Structure 1
Amino acid sequence: MPDLYHFWGSDLVAGSTGDVRTVDGSTLGTQRVLRRLLTNPGDLIWHPEYGAGLPRLVGELLDLPALTALIRSQIFLEDAVAPTPEPTITVSPIANGVSVYILYADAQTGQQITLSFDVSS
């Protein structure tokens, strides 16, 4: 089922007919994984437990194994992420934050999906 095309940190996009653009397939899965990782628990009043809260961890003592485990546990909550092959998750420190690289298999197509982003203050 399509959803609104919306990547974290950007505006909604108009579709070819002037309506709001929709998305489905692997792009929708990527958007959902990113939204889950960057949403702080408690930010969604109807789903207070939703989200990994990576932005709130910026400035905290960096524990790379714990952060990697948090990301792994959260992405598996999305139907778009296949459990096998095991996702590759790399978290690296950058100035005032972390850089995250995730390679996972799309659950519907088996296609390898790359998601890379920085979280900083």
Structure 2
Amino acid sequence: MDLSHDIGGDLMLDAGSGLATVTADDWVRQRVLRRLLTNPGDYIWDVGYGGGLRSQIGNVVAAGQIAASIRRQLQLEAAIATSPAPQVSVSDSGNGTIDTTITYADAADGTTSRVALTVGGSP
């Protein structure tokens, strides 16, 4: 049993004000977001862990670089199936942010899920 925790937030509570547990679908989503948003070197138990997308905020970065970084990180995530390969869509919103949509299959049961993420904006 794992606790529900979205990166950047507090532990979540259930209806009875106890600590909420996470469903399998949300567990994988939380792992993907944590991996992509953690800067390399910030996770002291594995300094190479993380995609560093947060470090791109305020920088000029090509959408293709972000898509490649996301794909590399998803290949390292054990919770994501390698076949079918995850699909990453990246588009420049024109206002200093990059919108991403990631479609992946859960390695445990093969269910397909989608995560949307916006990268960029003011630091």
Q: Which moved more, 1:41-50 or 1:17-26?
A: 17-26
- Calculate percent identity across the aligned residue pairs: 40
Q: Which moved more, 1:6-15 or 1:44-53?
A: 6-15
Amino acid at match of 2:96: N
SS in 2 for 1:23: coil
In 2, distance between residues paired with 1:52 and 1:33? Answer: 10
SS in 1 for 2:14: coil
Q: How far apart are 1:54 and its partner, in Å?
A: 0.3
State the match for 1:51 in structure 2.
Answer: 50
SS in 1 for 2:117: strand
Q: How far apart are 1:63 and its partner, in Å?
A: 2.0
The answer to whether the Cα contact below 8 Å between 1:55 and 1:119 also exists between their aligned partners in 2 is: yes
State the match for 2:18 in structure 1.
Answer: 19
SS in 2 for 1:33: helix
Amino acid at match of 1:99: D
SS in 2 for 1:82: coil
RMSD over aligned Cα atoms: 1.6
Structure with a larger share of its residues in strand: 1
**Alignment deviations for residues 82-119 of structure 1 (CA, whole Å, 9 cap, x no partner):** 01112110111232221110001111111110000112
State the match for 1:6 in structure 2.
Answer: 5
For structure 1, the 5+ residue unaligned runs are none
State the match for 2:86 in structure 1.
Answer: 87
State the match for 1:99 in structure 2.
Answer: 99
TM score, norm. by length of structure 1: 0.88
TM score, norm. by length of structure 2: 0.86
In 2, distance between residues paired with 1:32 and 1:83? Answer: 16
**Misfit runs of 4+, over 3 Å:** none
In 2, distance between residues paired with 1:59 and 1:18? Answer: 38
SS in 2 for 1:76: helix
For structure 2, the 5+ residue unaligned runs are none
The answer to whether the Cα contact below 8 Å between 1:4 and 1:23 also exists between their aligned partners in 2 is: yes
**Alignment deviations for residues 37-84 of structure 1 (CA, whole Å, 9 cap, x no partner):** 001111122221110000111232322222211101101211211011
Amino acid at match of 1:103: T
